[in-house]
Structure 1
Amino acid sequence: MEKYRVEGAPPTIHYIPDFITEFEEQSLMKQIQNAPKPKWTQLSRRRLQNWGGLPHPKGMIAESLPEWLTKSVDKVAQLELFGGNKPNHVLINEYLPGQGIMAHTDGPLFYPTVTTITCGSHTLLDFFTPRTDDELDVRSDQTENKSCDSAREPVVSLLLEPRSLVIVQDEMYNKMLHSIAERGFDEISSDKKIANLHLCSETYAQKGSCERGTRYSLTIRHVPKTKKLPAWFKV
């Protein structure tokens, strides 16, 4: 794992390019796109799916992950990132070109490690220092998104390529906000504080300006507090 550590960012980020194959990527996107309509939660400017249950402060009612997700989840589990636990929840976000997500933290419902597989299109993930404790408490992976303050400069950014895995832990999980700006193009250059550019394909740096397509993010996490459905509910 050490060779995948992003040295130009506060502790701790790892970035693994080509974590899944093109075949796996296409298979995942097909399954995501063909998911039953009730699995989609429609927000104002994006939509998402929850698999494994719906995280809740009182405990997530655990559900089995579908077979088409288990290969990717098992692959992440092999990295042993969740304190001896296996990831049990997958949040899938769909981002159309021009869509993003407000600056937020993932919060205490999850083990303090977040892993995300990117499928389809690249994006830039920006990290910010919170201005207040209240801002640090903002959660947005289940709520409506708003544009991040465009006047703020990110402390660091990451280029997330298709088929890559990014792992966020420690200070970067607990003390930093992360967001995706709402834009259709990204400027990729070494002076943009893109800390993992040396781990990425040279194709992006050579292009300079890269157009976004539709991106699917698979955020794979462990929810420590779970509960089972009561017996009467299953009847």
Structure 2
Amino acid sequence: MNELEKYRLKNAPPTMYYIPGFFGNEDEKKLVNAIESVPPSKWTVHECYKQEWDVFIIRMDEFPGWRRVARLGRADYCMHNSCGGNRSASRLPEWSMTASFTLNSPGLLDFYYPSKKGFDICNDTDEEERRRRYIGSVWLEPRSLFIFTDVAFDVLWHGMKKEKFDVITDKVFNRPADLPVEARLSVEFATVSEITLTIELVRKDEIRF
């Protein structure tokens, strides 16, 4: 993991790594086309996201730029989030790491302190509870790679809210330098066609760049 240190988000909870421009425009188009070409019958559709179990959209050895991440082996499943509903906050202890690729448009991934009573960002209507547990967000640009593990993955919960716009505030860990830092000057971005492709069960000791 030492090779990832230069990508670690300094203002975020430990063990969050963000790599902008991880792959190019053509690779992004291939991924989007591959996702859109998968028949609906191949997906398990949940309220907040879609999962493709076992049958992969793209063979791992054909994944664009996969030479840059070597010996990852076979992921447990591929999941993609697309706009139109909230994405749930969750803690998945059976996995050690999550790697997410963002396609088409930017988006925000929110992080929360855990709750003993349970907390589902998809269905929870208690805004005060949401605000109380909210830690901050990661700004995900198109064609970026976001990796989080250890405390960020094992302890904190994460999810994406149902919003017509993503609002950049002072709680965004990696807020772009060209955007205003004051919350009252927040900038809104439409996320109509946002896709986040998540590959789980990445072994931490096999990350290579």
Q: For residues 13-92 of structure 1, what are the structure 2 equivalents within 5 Å?
A: 13-44=16-47, 46-51=48-53, 53=54, 66-67=58-59, 70-72=62-64, 74-75=66-67, 77-78=69-70, 86-92=73-79
**1:5 matched to 2:8:** yes
Q: Percent identity?
A: 26
Counterpart amino acid of residue 145 in structure 2? L
Inter-CA distance 29–156: structure 2 relative to 1 (3 Å threshold): same
Counterpart amino acid of residue 89 in structure 1? D
Q: Secondary structure at the match of 2:197?
A: strand
Inter-CA distance 96–6: structure 2 relative to 1 (3 Å threshold): same
Q: For residues 193-232 of structure 1, what are the structure 2 equivalents within 5 Å?
A: 193-197=171-175, 200=176, 202=178, 208-222=187-201
Counterpart amino acid of residue 14 in structure 1? Y
Shift of 1:2: 1.9
Q: Secondary structure at the match of 2:9?
A: coil
1:160-188 CA distance string (max 9 Å, x none): 11111110111011110101111010111
Larger-Rg structure: 1
Q: Structure 2: how far apart are the matches of 1:195 and 1:180? A: 15
Inter-CA distance 105–86: structure 2 relative to 1 (3 Å threshold): same
Normalised by the length of structure 1, the TM-score is 0.70
**1:165 matched to 2:145:** yes
Structure 1: unaligned runs, 5 residues or longer: 54-62, 79-83, 225-235
Structure 2: unaligned runs, 5 residues or longer: 204-209
Q: Secondary structure at the match of 1:155?
A: strand
**1:146 matched to 2:130:** no
Q: Secondary structure at the match of 2:114?
A: coil
Query: Residues 81 and 197 of structure 2 are in contact (CA less than 8 Å); yes or no, is this contact kept in structure 1?
Result: no
Shift of 1:195: 0.6
Inter-CA distance 65–22: structure 2 relative to 1 (3 Å threshold): closer
**1:102 matched to 2:88:** yes
Q: Secondary structure at the match of 1:202?
A: coil
Q: Secondary structure at the match of 2:31?
A: helix
Q: Structure 1: how far apart are the matches of 2:61 and 2:126? A: 35
Query: Residues 40 and 47 of structure 1 are in contact (CA less than 8 Å); yes or no, is this contact kept in structure 2?
Result: no
Inter-CA distance 122–90: structure 2 relative to 1 (3 Å threshold): farther
Please name the residue that 1:59 is paired with. none
Please name the residue that 1:93 is paired with. 80
Q: Structure 2: how far apart are the matches of 1:186 and 1:94? A: 15
Inter-CA distance 12–47: structure 2 relative to 1 (3 Å threshold): closer
